């Protein structure tokens, strides 16, 4: 489609750390300059796994928003909001649940995987089974076209596409659809109408994606069409009925290469993180006590950076010349490990300093943060209401 709308959410279940920054947040910072972006706190999703520790969620919501802002998510470029403040998500979730086959939910791989991984929690709940559908509602309610997610979430986007398709198939078939589509083509005018027809035929006969996209662009750019006609023409292109819900695409977030303090991927569950608000003293201490190549028992024992988690941090933070210095110095026992760690400490502190300065400013001004979120919620709600009006109508809920 001509205009991209990006949407992504994050669950408020604790402090954000450098892994989040190098993985998700830097990606968001880039996207906010390229497309319309909506970023939200998925507090209901957090409750699906943390329903028995609501205090964690309560604490984490504002802190997470502050972390986003501190990292550089800009409310002038991105709409920032909280899922539960846009209750339309829950309404769409309920309505979609009516037409969601149980087997589709049971087959989503994260369902069983997470139950096994988080075996200490009782996740045999209705809410947890519905997790991907709630996510679908989050996405579909904004007609988002691009959803930046990690690899583990791709099945949820696939699931969302299937839900959208099923919904459009069931509810997009208004009486007299073909006639209405024909009338809408007339409204395009002779020349554009012919172009549309040509592209539609080409797409339907040969699967020519370019033809599809050119016809979609033609409709998007046409000023004189009503919303209903626009959707009819978009739906008619692909053969079905009106396209009410848009099928989103997963936009794979490049896997974070951020290693943790022990060389495994940085993750709260490995207890190897540096949080975005970690004090400089703690950052220093954490890096100073990182394990190194076990072969370097004494200062005079040579080592191998390939066997050392500190080296992995050099790979993220250090210049080529520093990396050469490490390789040489480690293998020849020319440098000690404490010495080797100093450039990493300096780099992490330099990266965190501006983030922490901004975080402190926002933390001191809770009203500002709340206003940013209130503003975002209002913008989001306006979009969500538009979708819901139409969903209610096609599902027979438009009583007067």
Residue closer to ligand SF4 (CB basis): 229 or 293: 293
Residue closer to ligand SF4 (CB basis): 200 or 341: 341
Q: Which stretch binds ligand SF4 (CB under 6 A): 167-175, 178-186, 204-212, 329-337?
A: 329-337
Using CB under 6 A as the binding rule, the residues of this chain from 307 to 326 that contact ligand SF4 are 308, 310-311, 326
Residue 116 CB, nearest approach to ligand TRP (Å): 17
Residue closer to ligand TRP (CB basis): 31 or 139: 139
Q: Residue 337 binds which entry of ligand SF4, ligand TRP, none, with Cβ cut-offs from 5 to 8 Å by kind? A: ligand SF4
Residue closer to ligand TRP (CB basis): 267 or 327: 267
Which residue from 296, 345, 384, 394 is in contact with ligand SF4, where contact means CB under 6 A? 296
Determine, following the binding rule CB under 6 A, whether residue 188 of this chain makes contact with ligand SF4: no
Residue 254 CB, nearest approach to ligand TRP (Å): 15
Residue closer to ligand TRP (CB basis): 18 or 42: 42
Tell me how far apart the alpha carbons of residues 39 and 21 are, in angstroms, rounded to a whole number. Answer: 15
Residue closer to ligand TRP (CB basis): 202 or 251: 251
Number of residues that bind ligand SF4 (CB under 6 A): 14
Residue closer to ligand TRP (CB basis): 43 or 351: 43
Determine, following the binding rule CB under 6 A, whether residue 292 of this chain makes contact with ligand SF4: yes
The residues that touch ligand TRP, with contacts defined as CB under 6 A, are 7-9, 11, 42, 45, 135, 138-139, 147, 149, 153
SS3 readout for the chain = CCCCEEEEEECCCCCCEHHHHHHHHHHHHHHCCCCEEEEEECHHHHHHHHCCCHHHHHHHHHHHHHHHHHHCCCCCCEEEEEHHHCCHHHHHHHHHHCCCCHHHHHHCHHHHHHHHHCCCCCCCCHHHHCHHHHHHHHHHCCCCCEEEECHHHHHHHHHHHHHHHHHHHHHCCCCCHHHHHHHHHHHCCHHHHHHHHHHHHHHHHHCCHHHHHHHHHHHHHCCCCCHHHHHHHHHHHCCCCCCCCCCCEEEECCCCCCECCCCCECCHHHCCCCECCCCHHHHHHHHHCCCCCCCCCCCCCCCCHHHCHHHHHHHHHCCHHHHHHHHHHHHCCCCCHHHHHHHHHHHHHHHHHHHHHHHHHHHHCHHHHHHHHHHHHHHHHHHHHHHHHHHHHHCCCCCC
Q: Residue 305 binds which entry of ligand TRP, ligand SF4, none, with Cβ cut-offs from 5 to 8 Å by kind? A: ligand SF4
Which residue from 335, 349, 363, 374 is in contact with ligand SF4, where contact means CB under 6 A? 335
Determine, following the binding rule CB under 6 A, whether residue 337 of this chain makes contact with ligand SF4: yes
Give the interface with ligand SF4 as residue ranges (CB under 6 A): 292-293, 296, 303, 305, 308, 310-311, 326, 330, 335, 337, 340-341
């Amino acid at each position: 489609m001509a205009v991209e709308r990006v949407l992504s959410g994050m669950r408020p279940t604790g402090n954000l750390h450098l892994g989040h920054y190098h993985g998700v947040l830097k990606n968001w910072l880039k996207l906010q300059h390229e497309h319309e972006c909506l970023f939200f706190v998925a507090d209901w999703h957090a409750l699906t796994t943390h329903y028995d520790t609501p205090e964690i969620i309560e604490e984490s919501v504002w802190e997470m928003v502050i972390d986003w802002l501190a990292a550089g998510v800009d409310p002038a470029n991105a709409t920032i909001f909280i899922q539960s403040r846009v209750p339309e998500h829950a309404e769409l979730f309920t309505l979609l649940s009516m037409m969601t086959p149980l087997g589709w939910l049971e087959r989503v791989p994260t369902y069983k995987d997470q139950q096994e991984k988080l075996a200490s929690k009782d996740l045999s709940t209705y809410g947890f089974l519905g997790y991907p559908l709630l996510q679908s509602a989050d996405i579909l309610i904004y007609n988002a076209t691009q959803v930046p997610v990690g690899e583990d979430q791709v099945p949820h986007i696939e699931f969302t596409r299937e839900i959208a398709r099923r919904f459009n198939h069931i509810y997009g078939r208004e009486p007299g659809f073909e006639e209405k589509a024909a009338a809408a083509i007339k409204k395009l005018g002779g020349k554009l109408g012919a172009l549309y027809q040509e592209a539609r035929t080409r797409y339907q006969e040969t699967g020519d994606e370019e033809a599809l996209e050119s016809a979609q662009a033609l409709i998007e750019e046409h000023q004189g069409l009503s919303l209903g006609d626009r959707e009819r023409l978009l739906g008619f292109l692909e053969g079905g009925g009106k396209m009410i819900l848009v099928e989103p695409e997963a936009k794979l977030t490049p896997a974070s290469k951020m290693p943790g303090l022990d060389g495994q991927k940085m993750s709260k569950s490995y207890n190897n993180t540096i949080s975005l608000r970690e004090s400089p003293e703690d950052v220093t201490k954490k890096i100073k006590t990182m394990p190194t190549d076990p072969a370097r028992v004494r200062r005079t024992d040579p080592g191998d950076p390939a066997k050392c988690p500190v080296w992995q941090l050099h790979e993220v933070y250090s210049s080529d010349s520093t990396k050469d210095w490490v390789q040489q110095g480690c293998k020849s026992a020319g440098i000690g490990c404490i010495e080797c760690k100093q450039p990493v400490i300096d780099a992490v502190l330099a990266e965190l300093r501006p983030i922490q300065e901004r975080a402190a400013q926002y933390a001191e001004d809770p009203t500002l943060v709340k206003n940013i979120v209130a503003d975002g919620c209002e913008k989001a709600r306006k979009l969500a209401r538009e979708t819901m009006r139409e969903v209610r109508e096609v599902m027979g809920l438009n009583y007067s």
